[in-house]
Structure 1
Amino acid sequence: MSRPMRSSFIESARQAIAIEREAIDALTDRIDHTFETACDLIMQCSGRVVVTGMGKSGHIGKKIAATLASTGTPSFFVHPGEASHGDLGMITGDDVVLAISNSGQTGEVLTILPLIKRMGAPLISMTGDPDSVLAREAEANLDVSVPREACPLGLAPTSSTTATLVMGDALAVALLEARGFSAEDFAFSHPGGSLGRRLLLRVSDIMHTGERVPRVSPTTLLSEALLEISGKGLGMTTVVDDQGLMVGVFTDGDLRRTLDRNLDVHVTPIQDVMTIGGKRIYEDQLAAEALKIMDEVKITALPVIDRHNNLVGAINMHDLLRAGVL
């Protein structure tokens, strides 16, 4: 067998992508009242979306079920072959069944249709043949037919599985928006990932507290304040009054401006050179918000206050890095 020329690899790959793009583009006009019916059935469901499909359709179905579940629509996958041998008990009349079959004639799927109908679970199908048995039996059939497969033999499911996956994503996104599903809701489903850390971690979870927080009074001499800055290692110090309220902050930037004025650090009180007020963040805000503030104003540390302006801590870029927020 002769080896193909390397240029044919590139041509074949580009052709495959073009064919699959064609299949995806064809889906746009099929997002119609039938798609709305499918969404309504799922929104009205008090149970879960049970996805089923054989072979490659089953692999795509598992991904669709996972996407639905992580975006606010409880869902799981049931293998249709296993359903005929006991797993049908996982489905109830309160559920919605999403059955996937490119031909719409898959035997294992058709076998369990009467039982699904008998228990009263609404049926949504995704098929490549709107006149198939599965499509006709469904309350809503989502047409995922494709002009041709990317496989030059027309045998391996390629364009058809891509179109099905994209239709599943469209369904998940439409439901997500209808439910008002938020980024924080998403994070609760992904607490172990970096996204979960960014969206769930609060400033109070990682801030410095107690003696680790640099603080001086307004009358503290600048020389003493510099010792506080170097001793606490955050590149700044807070300025706090007798009631514990934060009145200002002194940073490396303030120090440079002070030196430019040729002020004597041994006689100058910090209140004369501090930034009044200064950037700060509330302890109950997300750590990601602290990162946003630091990035916007090009600083590396922030004082942390409570809702009464009491100083309660400090946070810096290294804290965010260690916590996986950065």
Structure 2
Amino acid sequence: MKHFFLLLAISFAFFSCSSDDQVDTSSDTLAKKGYDYISKIEVYVYPQGYKQGEYVFTYDNQKRLLTFSNDLFHNTYGPPRVATVTYTDSIYSYTTKGYITGRIVLEDHRGAMYLDKQGRATKFINEAPYKDPLTDEPVTAPHTKDSLIYNADGHLTSSYIHEINLKNTFKWENNDLVKATVGGKGKITYGNTFVRFEYTNVPNRTFPDLNIFRVYPSIFNRNEGIWTTQTGIRSAHLVAKRHVFYDNKLGKTNTDSYKFDDKGRPIELMENDVYYGIRKYVITYLDK
């Protein structure tokens, strides 16, 4: 459980205050990023080889993300959850519709990411509904991540999570994130806990960002895999290894291997996680 909260804390760390200045989100601006836009990611579990589920992404004619559906457990618990995104000059907002099926009740889920005039995230608000354990009444609790600080290259170097009083720091080398450290003492206390990253020499052009998205797959409460350019955590290369340390001791090392198409895009990713086993991600792109 400690390991789960570590990953959750690191994922929450990657976000951020609104500005009235306009941000250019035109197709020309996005095209200059040179993204390879993903339309579907299928997830298979090994050694059994069964399909765990899939993610589907749709875009508008400017190649802005419109919807994102999560069928990770292949409809075991209900229909796929679909998030819908809307855009203004300085706010990206999203809503995930809930549903009731049998004993499973999932409420609507809302959130927003605020951008400054440079197009960088400054604040992220995630409204997570739940039932109060004392009154059994529905409550919507906003979770705020802000105090995002960037270096001269636009990379995130630190962030703050209010709900658990947690500051996180990020170290960069050659435009790659090489170390993410969880710090602070609040509702959740960590020792010297951090993740070190090693990289391939293959450029990372995927959208959503495979380096981050596949590690924390969810419906928009972990946006770092969706808008990593805006949140300052897009590394220049694809990840090869992740070394996770707990209290200064190596806890595990995950390794990744890739298969590429004739355009140099990753179409298969094998992730070997020492805790959760081997997963294969089969990737389909918007532009064939």
TM-score range, shorter chain: under 0.3
Look at both structures and tell me which one has the larger radius of gyration over its CA atoms.
1
- Structure 2-normalised TM-score? 0.24
Which structure exhibits the higher relative contact order, with contacts defined as CA atoms closer than 8 Å and separated by 6 or more residues? 2
Q: Give the number of the structure whose residues are more often strand, by fraction.
A: 2
- Structure 1-normalised TM-score? 0.22
Q: Give the number of the structure whose residues are more often helix, by fraction.
A: 1
